[in-house]
Structure 1
Amino acid sequence: MARSLAEAFKQFATKADGKEQTTADFTKWCKDAGVVGKNCNSNHIDISFSKAKAKGARNITFENLDALITEMAKKYKDDVKMGEAEAKEDLINKLSGAKKLMHGVTGTMKVGGVDRMTDTTLYTGAHKERFDEEGKGKGLAGRSDVVDNTGYVGGYKNKDTYDKKEK
């Protein structure tokens, strides 16, 4: 069953227990409904909002909504390539069916913190050296640098080859 425009208005309203909407509320409602386009953009929504609200008021009520949608339909018709009356009807249908979406919110992870911390594939840099190929910890050898007192420099590749060349 389709939701009524009044229920949708109340869901997106943040003022006076769902009885009033600010311009930000209405703009968010339009974005979530998918009615924002090239001609009917947020600037046009703000202008339409200013024309539709009561003189001296900062917000709109549900009674002002019909005038606001009528004003928006003038530009929205160019985006959807239809007449103004059909555009108004389409606006009403889209706004009625809009669901409030979360913007700018990071989603929750399905994996717990312990699982992420014990997943050795996520470690980088010096920390990945603490684990062997199978993902098991190396213990003390993985946490500290073992000093090699053979007399060779760390990057020297030909260790133990001098004696073999002489013989």
Structure 2
Amino acid sequence: MSALEKTFLKFANHDNSSALGNDMTAKNFIKMCQECGVMDGKAVNSDDVDIAFNKVKAKGARTITYIEFLQAMKVLCGKRFSRKLPEDALQATFKLLEGKEPASEESAKSVKQGRRVERLTDPGQRFDKSGKDQGIAEHSDLTQSTSNTAKDKEPGA
């Protein structure tokens, strides 16, 4: 079994309890193309990936086989590596895929949440160089009155 076929099977079985291991859904095909760099958002976008999937799958089918996957890669490699010869483009696409595994949803969420917490708790944002809390006075945009009542708008009222 080749490294490319192993990658196909890993993505085919990812988050798919009903998978027999031989077929890949459109969702997993798009995930694989995103995570492996086939879909770069410029030369190849999600529409291109979706079109390639639907072009190679059997009529009425919801999944593709490994052979159909190879056909889809032939469709996409020409767009992704348009300046290369067709065979070189296909090999470059295969190199993007070989040895890759799907990222777990939990690890992706924890990375995002970690960045959010880091940004919210960054001491450089809240404290000055001496370590003193800057407080609300340092945030001029928050110290101005933002009341919208007529009483606050009219002078002497």
TM over 0.5: yes
Picking from 89, 92, 98, the partner of 2:100 is 98
Counterpart code for 2:86: E
Write the distance in 2 (CA, Å) between the matches of 1:18 and 1:105: 26
Which protein is bigger by CA-based radius of gyration?
1
Given the alignment of the two structures, is residue 46 of structure 1 paired with residue 50 of structure 2, yes or no?
yes
Residue 34 of structure 2: aligned partner: 31
Write the distance in 2 (CA, Å) between the matches of 1:66 and 1:9: 10
| C-alpha deviation, 1:101, in angstroms | 1.5
- Greater helix percent: which structure? 2
The two structures, once aligned, show a CA RMSD in angstroms of 2.4
Residue 85 of structure 1: aligned partner: 87
| C-alpha deviation, 1:74, in angstroms | 2.2
Deviations 1:67-117 (A, max 9, x none): 111111121123xx32222111111121122232235422598xxxxxxxx
Given the alignment of the two structures, is residue 12 of structure 1 paired with residue 14 of structure 2, yes or no?
no
Counterpart code for 2:59: K
Write the distance in 1 (CA, Å) between the matches of 2:89 and 2:27: 22
TM value normalised by structure 1: 0.57
Residue 151 of structure 1: aligned partner: none
SS at match of 2:69: helix
- Matched length: 108
Counterpart code for 1:11: K
Counterpart code for 1:4: A
| C-alpha deviation, 1:17, in angstroms | 2.7
Deviations 1:41-87 (A, max 9, x none): 11100000001111221110112112111111121123xx3222211
In the TM superposition, 1:1-167 aligns within 5 A as: 4-13=3-12, 14=16, 15-37=18-40, 38-78=42-82, 81-103=83-105, 104-107=108-111
TM value normalised by structure 2: 0.60
Any gaps of 5 or more consecutive residues in structure 2?
115-122, 127-157
Q: Is the 8 A contact 1:9 1:18 kept in 2?
A: no
Runs of 4+ in 1 over 6 A off after TM superposition: none
